[in-house]
Amino acid sequence: MPVYDTYSKRIKRRSGRDKDVYQYDRIPKEFRVQVVHILLDIFGEGDTPSSHGMYSQIERIICREYGLMELPSSGNYSTTANDVIKYFVEFVDTNHAIDIIEISFNLIYAGISNYQINEKFTRKIKPEEAIAELNIRFFENGLGYQFESGIIVRVDKKYIHSEIIKPALSLLTDEIYEGANAEFLSALENFKKRNYKDCINDCLKSFESTMKIICAQNNWEYIDSDTAKKHLEI
């Protein structure tokens, strides 16, 4: 489904009321409902075996991670899809809402080349379109998050994100950078948790790993135990 540039959005931009500064502390209900519409378009309403299976998978992950036996029932005509949606829209705090978005869209991301999502669902949008719309909705609502390479990343400065973090995530998906990628993702996770010392340490590890890989790919002699300064000189 296209994202419409509605009259109210245009008026908001002209009046200067659109959010120039990202916020992270509250995930508004309107945004949560927009996310639900995306999930319904990609997974369906849970009324087919494949559709029900995806919502069941999301529910199992949520319950396991949060130490729950089951999600609260959504009412007399409760279904797994309805339970997941109601829990996401009405019950969870900001961090848990982001968790559920990441869990759901990681399944979508994994399904870009997956038969299960591409063939078994009568879906209204493609997985790529679902992810693109999610990121647009984050931006429209002034929420400092984006979904990149299977995870939610925090966007503190749009320029830094678009020109540095996003290209780095894209480049590090190459299998030769597997170790450096794991260290970089760990750095992002520590940053989200405000473990800044560990974040910087993981950044340095990823940086050094990347330089060693570049040296190896070009058959440049280097000593594995050398400092970053030595690798930069090479």
Domain boundary assignment for the chain: 19-144, 172-234
Give Cα separations from 26 to 3, 55, 60, 88, 151 (angstroms): 22, 24, 25, 13, 19
pTM of the model: 0.66
152 φ, ψ (degrees, to nearest 5)? -85, 125
The per-residue pLDDT for 188 is 81
pLDDT in tens, 24-64: 889 999 999 999 999 999 999 988 888 899 999 999 999 99
pLDDT in tens, 105-117: 999 988 765 545 5
The per-residue pLDDT for 103 is 96
pLDDT in tens, 152-203: 988 877 677 778 877 888 888 888 999 999 898 888 878 777 788 999 999 9
The residues, any chain, with a CB within 8 Å of residue 116's CB and separated by 6 or more, are 50
Strands (E), 98-149: 145-148
